[in-house]
């Protein structure tokens, strides 16, 4: 924030204009205010769902306004004339003319619907009791996390939280214990980071949760920090880190067309970018690329007619031909090429073309034939394996998820390592969080239903395990609740799996209140066994939690997945209700004290549950949930549009009269009159998947009926809250809401806003 000196023109207020970039118009807005003689400014990019981005420079001198955001490489310099700004917008080497006019400030959605912070705090204060653990104990981010070795093992990187809840990236030199803060987290969250090579780290950030991820890089001493992809409205995905070419990575971006992604080779030092392949058929775009370890494009999957995929493969270098024609429901994908054989066309693939469950095969892509089936499971899909580059790409293990995570050792080397780990840490799940290129050091991550997570280092030379870091030392395993796998039969005969987390009161024979928690997605997603902070918080207050892997959940085979197509809000909800009946019949829960809570599709399931079976639930909490299937389909991000036909096959197609009628039936906004029970709604204003209008619609409709509906909106969040302070505030209000409606505690006044 810089001090301003005014020369006859007024710059405070809201200014709006449009950038013209490659024929596309991108609306922008700047909001400028003065406090104690200093200017402060924020920027909105409405087309990208980003609002309130703080500028770190706001300077007005000699009738020239300068606004800048150094981290994003953005600057705007303009002269002021009455109600007009005339100037140049600079970003990523571009200089674009930009005129802006004085306007009124607008923010996403209807702010008049939003409940005040004071009212939400009062609601949260109802969660009072002799509790050993607070909301912060479960949802404050760990002091340190995401530990990683440099490839050569000389350094250990991690994220560490400061007093302002910013999670910076540090690098520790193992030999000297010297620690350097390499990446500073400012207003925008660092969404992920990793080692690109022994000297350089890469990380990704978006703006306010809009999911337009940009790629950044920094040296291990913090120098030469650079935004590598400074393209407004463009999303970056990392496709390959190249071990054989340590200064480059392969990424994909929707830079040329917002609806489709193309691959690029990027120099992580200079930022130089080279496009590797063109994805020019927007009607039938490429949906996935297969590169080998040397960065060569070996194959790609291309959409055909919106619902089919053609798998292209280069039997000869640079000459791609179709080897498989698949329906989108088919699974056939390359996990990795097999560099342990003499045939360069051998690969590990996962496929369900010959079976209901996905299986792993060794496959000759040039001959288009199976060499042999190498791993399968009768009950669950399998799709994961690990090989050792150090040992000539020897196959080490398979893994899959059943009731719990399962690792199946293959190589003699890994059988010995697996035995050491499981003997040392029985009754816990483990994963290899990282290992050095020489396999002399390992990071072992341990977890269970009662343990949030602990890192151990393992020295392969000495055979010694050392405790590195306990992520949540304040949460004692002996105090945590048991998460128990359950299996039951649906009303139409399907076997359904799930989990029940039981507080100690339930184990002592008391029938406790229950929170039903349907998962998001919904297709291909599933709930898993392990530490669940939400379920543990609920258990600490005496509530059980039910999680049902209803039909359409992933991991249980193709038939089970497809049995949920066109059944969202119908048979998928029946499965949730049948799971509720099952746990009531077991004598664990009080059938008259049942809440339903979920996020994304789970939020939709909350609204659908309160309209489909209005007498079943006591109350509901809708977190970024869909309320109107029609508007949901119309507000999807542009890069989802190539998959719209597939989305319609999973959900519903309003162009089919019968399905349009179903959409009206299962869209909660059209069934408001059926809601009888209290509802709490939570939304991120910049959500690119579930537009804020989805939540506004349901809140307004219920408010118009006279319902008391708390509504929490955060204007610096997207599809789910990423900022610690916002999450904690949400869970505090949520626990107060449960206390009010499951434990009959009262506020002094209605919680509207």
| pLDDT tens sequence across 192-217 | 999 999 999 999 998 878 888 999 99
Q: Rounded mean pLDDT of the chain? A: 92
Q: How confident is the model at residue 105 (pLDDT cuts 50, 70, 90)?
A: low
The DSSP call for residue 270 is T
Residue 4 pLDDT more than 70?
no
CB atoms within 10 A of CB 230: 18
Q: Which band of pLDDT confidence, cut at 50, 70 and 90, is reported for residue 615?
A: very high
- For residues 455-459, average pLDDT: 96
Using one digit for the tens of pLDDT, what is the confidence trace for 51-68?
A: 667 888 999 988 899 999
DSSP class of residue 481 equals: P
What is the pLDDT confidence band of residue 7, given thresholds at 50, 70 and 90?
A: very low
The predicted pLDDT at position 750 comes to 55
Over its C-alpha atoms, the chain yields an Rg (Å, rounded) of: 27
pLDDT confidence of residue 51: 63
Burial class (CB in 10 A: 0-12, 13-18, 19+), 152: middle
Q: How far is the C-alpha of 350 from the C-alpha of 156, rounded, in Å?
A: 34
Place of tokens 């023109």: 9
What is the pLDDT averaged over residues 633-660?
89
- Tens of pLDDT, residue by residue over 547-603, are 999 999 999 999 999 999 999 999 999 999 999 999 999 999 999 999 999 999 999
Number of Cα atoms under 13 Å in the Cβ half of residue 702: 27
CB atoms within 10 A of CB 293: 16
Per DSSP, helices labelled H in 86-195 are: 117-124, 135-139
pLDDT at 47: 54
Decide if pLDDT at 443 tops 90: yes
Contact between 462 and 178 under an 8 Å Cβ cutoff? The reply is no
Q: Vertex 46, ends 45 and 50: CA angle to 5°?
A: 60
> Residue 33 corresponds to which tokens in the numbers above?
């205010």
Whole-number percent of the chain with pLDDT over 90: 77
Contact 1, 59 (CB under 8 A): no
Output the CA angle 65-215-177, nearest 5 degrees: 105
108-136 confidence digits (pLDDT tens):
888 889 999 999 999 999 999 999 999 99
Q: Are 631 and 693 in contact (CB under 8 A)?
A: yes
Give the C-alpha distances (Å, rounded to integers) separating 738 from 420, 540, 626, 627: 45, 13, 22, 22
pLDDT of the residue at 49:
46
* Separation of alpha carbons 530 and 510, rounded Å: 24
CB 648 within 8 A of CB 640: no
Q: For the residues of 648-669, what is the DSSP string, one character each? A: HHHS--TTSHHHHHHHHHH-GG
Mean of the pLDDT values across residues 183-187? 90
> Peptide bond preceding 362: is omega within 30 degrees of 0, i.e. cis?
no
How far apart are the two ends of the chain, measured CA to CA in Å?
A: 32
CB 302: neighbour CB atoms within 10 A? Answer: 18
At residue 422, the 3 state secondary structure works out as helix
Has residue 3 got a pLDDT over 60?
A: no
Which position has the higher pLDDT, 722 or 470? 470
**Dist. CA 337–CA 566, nearest whole Å:** 36
Average pLDDT of span 464-485: 96
Measured CA distances, 530 to 485, 583, 724 (Å) = 11, 20, 21
Which residues have C-beta within 8 Å of that of residue 655, sequence separation ≥ 6?
Answer: none
Query: What is the SS3 assignment for 595?
Result: strand
Could you tell me what percent of the chain has a pLDDT over 70? Answer: 96
pLDDT category of residue 8 using cuts at 50, 70 and 90 = very low
Burial of residue 420 (number of CB atoms within 10 Å: 0-12, 13-18, 19+): middle
Q: Residue 751 pLDDT more than 70?
A: no
Q: What angle do CA 105, 106, 110 make, to 5 degrees?
A: 140
> 633 in helix, strand or coil?
helix
- Please name which of 165, 181, 15, 4 lies closest in space to residue 104, comparing C-alpha atoms: 15
Interval 392-399 mean pLDDT:
97
């Amino acid at each position: 924030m810089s001090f301003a000196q005014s020369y006859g023109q007024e710059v405070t207020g809201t200014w709006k204009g449009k950038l013209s970039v490659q024929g596309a118009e991108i609306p922008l807005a700047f909001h400028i205010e003065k406090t104690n003689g200093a200017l402060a400014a924020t920027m909105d990019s409405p087309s990208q769902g980003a609002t309130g981005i703080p500028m770190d420079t706001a300077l007005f001198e000699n009738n020239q306004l300068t606004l800048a955001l150094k981290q994003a490489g953005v600057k705007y310099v303009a002269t002021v004339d009455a109600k007009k700004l005339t100037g140049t917008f600079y970003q990523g080497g571009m200089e674009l003319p930009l005129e802006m006019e004085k306007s009124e400030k607008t923010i996403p959605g209807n702010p008049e619907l939003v409940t005040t912070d004071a009212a939400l705090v009062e609601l949260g204060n109802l969660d009072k009791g002799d509790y050993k653990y607070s909301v912060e104990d479960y949802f404050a981010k760990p002091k340190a996390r995401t530990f990683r070795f440099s490839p050569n093992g000389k350094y250990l990187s991690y994220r560490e939280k400061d007093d302002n809840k910013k999670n910076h990236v540090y690098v520790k030199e193992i030999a000297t214990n010297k620690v350097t803060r390499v990446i500073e987290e400012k207003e925008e969250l660092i969404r992920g980071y990793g080692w690109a090579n022994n000297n350089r780290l890469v990380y990704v950030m978006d703006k306010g949760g809009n999911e337009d991820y940009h790629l950044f890089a920094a040296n291990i001493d913090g120098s030469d920090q650079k935004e590598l992809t400074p393209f407004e409205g463009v999303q970056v995905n990392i496709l390959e880190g190249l071990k054989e070419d340590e200064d480059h990575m392969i990424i994909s971006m929707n830079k040329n067309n917002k609806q489709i992604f193309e691959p690029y080779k990027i120099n992580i030092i200079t930022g130089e970018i080279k496009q590797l392949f063109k994805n020019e058929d927007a009607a039938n775009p490429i949906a996935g690329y297969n590169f080998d370890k040397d960065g060569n494009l070996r194959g790609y999957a291309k959409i055909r007619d919106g619902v089919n995929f053609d798998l292209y493969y280069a039997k000869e270098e640079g000459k791609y031909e179709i080897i498989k024609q698949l329906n989108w429901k088919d699974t056939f994908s390359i996990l990795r090429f097999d560099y342990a054989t003499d045939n360069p066309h051998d690969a590990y693939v996962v496929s369900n073309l010959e079976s209901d469950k996905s299986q792993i095969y060794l496959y000759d892509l040039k001959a288009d034939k199976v060499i042999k089936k190498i791993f399968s499971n009768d009950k669950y899909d399998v799709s994961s394996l690990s090989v050792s580059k150090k040992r000539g790409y020897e196959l080490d293990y398979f893994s899959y998820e059943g009731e719990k995570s399962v690792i199946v050792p293959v190589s003699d080397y890994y059988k010995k390592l697996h035995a050491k780990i499981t003997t040392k840490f029985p009754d816990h799940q483990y994963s290899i969080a990282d290992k050095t290129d020489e396999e002399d050091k390992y990071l072992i991550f341990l977890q269970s239903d009662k343990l949030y997570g602990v890192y151990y280092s393992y020295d392969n030379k000495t055979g010694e395990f050392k405790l590195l870091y306990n992520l949540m030392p304040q949460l004692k395993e002996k105090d945590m609740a048991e998460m128990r796998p359950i299996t039951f039969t649906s009303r139409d005969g399907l076997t359904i799996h799930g989990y029940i987390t039981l507080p100690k009161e339930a184990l002592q024979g008391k029938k406790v209140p229950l929170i039903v928690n349907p998962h998001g997605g919904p297709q291909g997603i599933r709930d898993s066994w392990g530490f669940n902070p939400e379920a543990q918080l609920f258990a600490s207050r005496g509530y059980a939690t039910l999680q049902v892997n209803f039909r359409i959940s992933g991991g249980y085979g193709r038939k089970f997945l497809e049995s949920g197509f066109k059944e969202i809000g119908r048979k998928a909800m029946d499965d949730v209700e049948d799971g509720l009946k099952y746990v009531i019949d077991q004598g664990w829960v009080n059938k008259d004290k049942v809440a339903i809570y979920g996020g994304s599709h789970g939020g939709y399931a909350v609204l659908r549950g309160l309209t489909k079976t209005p007498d079943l639930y006591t109350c509901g909490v809708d977190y970024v949930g869909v309320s109107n299937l029609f508007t949901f389909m119309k507000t999807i991000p542009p890069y989802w549009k190539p998959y719209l036909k597939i989305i319609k096959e999973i959900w519903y197609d309003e162009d089919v009269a019968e399905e349009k009628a179903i959409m009206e039936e299962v869209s909660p906004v059209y069934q408001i009159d059926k809601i009888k029970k209290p509802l709490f709604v939570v939304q991120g204003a910049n959500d690119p998947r579930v537009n804020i209008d989805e939540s506004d619609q349901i809140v307004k409709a219920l408010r118009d009926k006279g319902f008391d509906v708390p509504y929490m909106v955060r204007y610096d969040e997207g599809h789910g809250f990423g900022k610690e302070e916002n999450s904690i505030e949400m869970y505090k209000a949520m626990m107060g809401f449960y206390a009010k409606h499951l434990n009959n505690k009262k506020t002094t006044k209605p919680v509207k806003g």
